[in-house]
Amino acid sequence: MMANQKEPSSYRAWVIRAVTNSICNKIGQTDDDSVIRNIAEQLCHLYRNADHFTYRSFQGCSRDNTILAAAAYLNYQDFTKKLLANGYDPEKNTPFGLPVWAAAFAGNNSVVELLLTSGTGVTLRKRCFAISGAANGGHLDTFNLLFSPRFGHMVPGNATYPFLKEGLYRTSNPRIFDQTVALLKPYSHS
Q: What is the DSSP string of 107-148?
A: T-HHHHHHHHHSTT-S-HHHHHHHHHHHHHHT-HHHHHHTT-
pLDDT at 162: 86
The 10s digit of each residue's pLDDT in 90-131 is 888 888 889 999 999 999 999 999 999 998 888 888 898 999
pLDDT of residue 163 exceeding 50, the answer is: yes
Please give the pLDDT value at position 58: 54
In the DSSP assignment, the letter for residue 4 is -
pLDDT at position 52 is 55
Contact between residue 156 and residue 184 where contact means Cβ atoms under 8 Å apart: yes
For residue 53, the 8-state DSSP code is S
- The CATH number for 28's domain is 1.25.40.20
Q: What is the pLDDT of residue 61?
A: 62
pLDDT computed for residue 16 by the predictor: 87
Per-residue model confidence (pLDDT) at position 3: 47
Report whether pLDDT(29) > 60.
yes
- pLDDT for residue 178 is more than 50: yes
Rounded Cα distance, 72 and 16, in Å:
15
Residue 3 lies in a domain: no
Answer whether residue 1 is part of any domain.
no
Which DSSP state fits 163?
Answer: H
**2-24: pLDDT as tens digits:** 444 555 677 778 888 888 988 88
Radius of gyration of the chain, Cα coordinates, nearest whole angstrom: 17
Q: How far apart are CA 179 and CA 158, in angstroms?
A: 17
* Domain interval for residue 60: 8-187
The pTM of this model reads 0.84
Evaluate whether residue 2 is within a structural domain.
Answer: no
Q: At what angle do helices 63-73 and 77-85 cross, to 10 degrees?
A: 150
Residue 39 lies in a domain: yes
* Greatest mean pLDDT among 29-33, 60-64, 67-71: 67-71
Instruction: Select from 141, 64, 47 the least CA-distant residue to 102.
Output: 47
Domain count, the chain: 1
As a whole number, mean pLDDT of residues 123-152 equals 91
Is 171 part of a structural domain of the chain?
A: yes
| 30 in any annotated domain | yes
68 vs 79: CA distance, rounded Å? 8
Residue 178 located in a structural domain: yes
